[in-house]
Structure 1
Amino acid sequence: MAGGRLPKGYPYYISDVETDSDGEIGEVPLPNIEDGNRRAWREELQNIELQAFTGIPAPTTVLDGTAVEMDLFHLMFPPALYEEIARETNRYADLEQEKNGVDSRWRATTPDEIRAYIAIQIVMGIIVAPTQDLYFCKDNLFRPMGINERFTRDRLDKLNQYFHVADTSQNPPRRQPGHDKLAHIRPIMDILLNKTKTEYSSHMEASVDEAMVAYTGRLGFKQHIPLKPTKRGIKVWMRADPNNGYFNDFQVYTGKEGNVAEKGLGERVVRDLTREIWGKYHHIYCDNYFTSINLFQDLFDNLTYACGTIRTNRKGIPPAIAKAKLKKQGDMIQRPKGSMVATAWHDKRTVTLLSTNSDPRDMTEVSRKQKDGSIVNVRCPKVLKQYTQNMNGVDRADQLRSTNSFCRKAAKWWKYLFWFMVDVAICNSFILMKESINHYITTKSEGRRERVQLEYRMKLAHQLLGDYWGKRKRESI
């Protein structure tokens, strides 16, 4: 369910995970040893010992108690980017005026104005108006106060018109060798992505999934996924921390190359997004689009555990799992092969799972409501419960991002990706402050109060705006 906000109180059950099994009723075949090339899969369950996680989850940069929201934000969004954006915006404005004539309403922007411009976008994400003009209307009843005191409508329109973050003049034409589909945001994206990876050491659990950046205009690599809350837009592969929703890594999907589908795309994405954390015994969670036996074996060989639902037609799945026909809630089949375990368990339907991060003999119970209204405890492999608890990292990160996110419409697709990355920087910096040992909020009774993202965004907007005034104050008479 990545790519949109989960409904409040959404029940995330084990039976809601992806599965290709139809759950037909029938007898369960129990061969002692699988045949053919799958002879390594066995019926006998053996103890599997896991190595301890060696990472230390925490912010990597520790700021003292005097640091404010803007200081944390600048860990993720370096102040040098204001200068870069101002330079590229002025360069693009000059080029446009060379082609179309002098624009008398334009004047060169500055890093301070770009910083204030971003602050205004944060304000607009909190106080949402149907149109931008409403922020500047003369009717005090309907005008959101504040923005019109710092910016004029004409100046904001001109910044929107010429806003640019990269020089694309050296990018080869489309379909030519070396052409970069993301050239409009590549320099900024590389910097922000590096900060995303290095400013936080993640927890043991990590989930990999896809998110969607809403966009409905024309774009060669725009995706349409009918079952997603955000059905049309730009797909972004993500690795996120299910413990706090921190965006650990992301990769923008730019579509097929040469109109040819990439073979093993899901496996390649997981390797790309997890390679930098191999060797610490992280536990990676993914759904059946990504899961394969080759991928999990590769991760295991690189000292990284994995768990995920798996399609029953994947190469190498033992027949007892692929053809399982379980009829009762709680029925299960497990087949181990070394440290890898394939599991079929019946809830509302049959769920198939592959894992290298659990002992197949570890069991637990889940509560299920019956047709007569009674609640019963159903026996369940512990690994399935772990999956439902940790697979929602990208969903949780998307919830944070969709709260008071930038929502203004734009004609250029790359602006949606840019503001997506600014949202990611804000959410990640919020988590850095939330977990900073020097920034805990205490109550009068010496208790601890959790930080709220809305409050964080409001303070950040004030600090970024600072004493900037884009319009002259009226002189008092």
Structure 2
Amino acid sequence: MVTAARVCCVRVSGPTQRMPTTATAMDFFQLFVPDNAIQNMVMQTNMYAKKYQERFGSDEGWRPVTAQEMRAFLGFVSSTGVHRCESVLSIWSGGFFGNKSIAPKMSQARFEKILKYFHIVAFRSSQGSQGLYKIQPFLDSLQQSFTCTFRPSQTQVLHEPLIDEDPVFITTCTERESRKRKKRKFSLWVRQCTTTGFICQVYIHLKEGPGPDGLDTLKHKPQLHSMVARQLCQNLASQNAIIFTGPSITSLNLFQEFEKQGIYCCGLLSSRKSDCTGLPQSMLSNPDMPQQRGQSQIKMKGNMCLINWYNKGNFRFLTNAYSPIKQGVIIKRKSGEIPCPLAVEAFAAHLGYICKYDDKYSKYFIFHKPNKTWQQVFWLTISIAINNAYILYKMSDAYHVKRYSRAQFGERLVRELLDLDDCSPTQ
């Protein structure tokens, strides 16, 4: 059996470069969105505007955008994640979300012109037939920067982070608005470090598409989720990583495939959501006899271990990363310590951290919700980049000089993008 001790290896995790104590929020952000990426946005936006006007007529109010204006444009949109602004255009209003401290940096009319023509890739190339061709170069660059700037811990989780689950929105939206939100045409999956929350890899799956990865050819969701897991873990071979998965990804075939690559897994099983092919049916049904809390049944085959653990209900886990012999505990505030296999304790601890991370940081996702899919993906990944930048900031010497909260860091970044003289966040 591959135990946690055997899988464990000397692994240095954290930032790959040391940032100076004087590093600013912009310095951390530009680890992921450097000047050349912004300059490309400038070039592509101007190219698109020119082509658009050649086809549909000149736009007298338009002039080519500059790099300074593009940074300001990013700053205005990013501010919606700091101030919980329902619409980026509210910045110039006199209402509740009006922001007189940043509005003078650009007129609303100019902002709307840039918003109209904003592009990452202006034209489809002969090779760019996939649905995300308008943003794929940016996604590739962003992924490379995530990989180059941070070494994750041994334990990582694959999941879909919170995107539209803002509690204020849910309690105030109409049923029609809620249905509209659910029509998002893509799903966003991540591989995330469970000790820091740093998102190491992002995978975007379009829900509509004729390609081999489209839902037209992957009607069976476990098959789709296994494909997503392979994409997220393609760079983890031979690193002895331990991957935690939810029911939609957990499957015997996938875990065995990963084990051959030196990737170990621990996942929650569900007879309804998981691909249970090859697993004994006796372990997937609830026992006839009543069970006590903390009681568990275990079946093993080679390094693979199937656990049925009872805690006011049956919870099933599949793992090849933790020994079933080793025991752990789940600590409940009212019930005290509940015995469990070590795999269950590890799963609860690591997934619990990620849930807390999501609850804390997802509320800083950019609120701007464009209609075009590629723009939705762009602003979501910008939000992830800002959160990752803050994690690196907290792990740097700069944090010991000025201990900014996530909200203060976001506000400071906005002011630096807007090139405001006073870049200190408001208290």
2:195 is aligned with 1:238: no
Give the paired residue count. 395
Q: Which of 267, 273, 276 pairs up with 2:226?
A: 267
**Are the structure 2 counterparts of residues 451 and 289 from structure 1 closer, same or farther at C-alpha, using a change threshold of 3 Å?**
same
Pairwise CA distance, 1:94: 0.9
Q: Does 1:107 align with 2:57?
A: no
Aligned to 1:455: 408
* Partner amino acid, structure 1, of 2:37: L
The yes-or-no answer on 1:52 pairing with 2:14 is no
Partner of 2:41 in structure 1? 85
Counterpart code for 1:314: C
The Cα RMSD (Å) is 2.9
- Asked if 1 retains the 8 angstrom alpha-carbon contact of 2:243 and 2:265, the reply is yes
Larger of the two Rg values belongs to structure = 1
Distance 1:210 1:132, change over 3 A: closer
Q: In structure 2, do the counterparts of structure 1 residues 411 and 322 end up closer, same or farther at CA, with 3 Å as the change threshold?
A: closer
Task: Name the CA shift for 1:51/1:404 in 2 (closer, same or farther; >3 Å).
Answer: closer
Deviation, 1:166, is: 0.7
* Distance in structure 2 (CA, Å) of the matches to 1:142 and 1:294: 51
Match in the other structure for 1:415? 375
Structure 2: runs of 5+ lacking an equivalent: 166-177, 211-215, 422-427
Are residue 200 (structure 1) and residue 200 (structure 2) matched?
no
Per-residue displacement from partner, 1:339-363 (whole Å, max 9, x unpaired)? 2211101111111111111121112
Encode CA deviations 1:61-116: one digit per residue, 9 max, x unaligned: 22222322211111111110111001111111111211221111111101111011
The reply on whether 1:344 has 2:308 as its aligned counterpart is: yes
Q: What displacement does 1:322 show?
A: 2.4
Pairwise mapping of residues 45-444 of structure 1 onto structure 2 (< 5 A)?
50-137=6-93, 139=94, 143-170=98-125, 179-211=129-161, 213-214=163-164, 231-233=182-184, 234-255=186-207, 258=210, 259-261=216-218, 264-312=223-271, 314-325=276-287, 327-328=290-291, 329-367=293-331, 375=335, 377-392=337-352, 395-396=355-356, 398-399=358-359, 401-436=361-396, 438-441=397-400
SS in 1 for 2:276: coil
Contact 2:135 2:374 in 1 (8 A): yes
| Letter matched to residue 350 of structure 1 | N
TM-score, length of structure 2 as denominator length:
0.84
Give the whole-Å Cα distance in 2 for the aligned partners of 1:232 and 1:395.
Answer: 24
In 2, distance between residues paired with 1:48 and 1:432?
28
SS state at 2:300 partner: strand
Partner Cα separation in structure 2 for residue 400 and residue 466 of structure 1 = 28
The 3 A distance-change label for structure 1 pair 256 and 314 is farther
Q: C-alpha displacement at 1:393, in angstroms?
A: 6.2
The answer (yes or no) to whether the contact 1:245–1:396 under 8 Å persists in 2 is no
Q: 2-side partners of 1:242 and 1:46: how far apart?
A: 21
CA distance in 1, matches of 2:72, 2:330: 51
Distance 1:255 1:143 in 2: 36
2:294–2:311: 8 Å Cα contact kept in structure 1?
yes
- Amino acid in the other structure paired with 1:455: Q
Q: Which runs of 5+ in 1 are unaligned?
A: 1-44, 173-177, 216-226, 443-448, 469-477
Tell me how far apart the structure 2 counterparts of residues 147 and 467 of structure 1 sit (CA, whole Å): 8
Deviation by residue 1:23-43 (Cα, 9 ceiling, x = unmatched): xxxxxxxxxxxxxxxxxxxxx
Answer whether contact 1:211 1:394 (CA < 8 A) is retained. no
Scaled by the length of structure 1, the TM-score of the pair is 0.75
Counterpart Cα distance in 1 of 2:8 and 2:387? 29
Of structures 1 and 2, the one scoring higher in RCO (CA 8 A, sep 6+) is 1
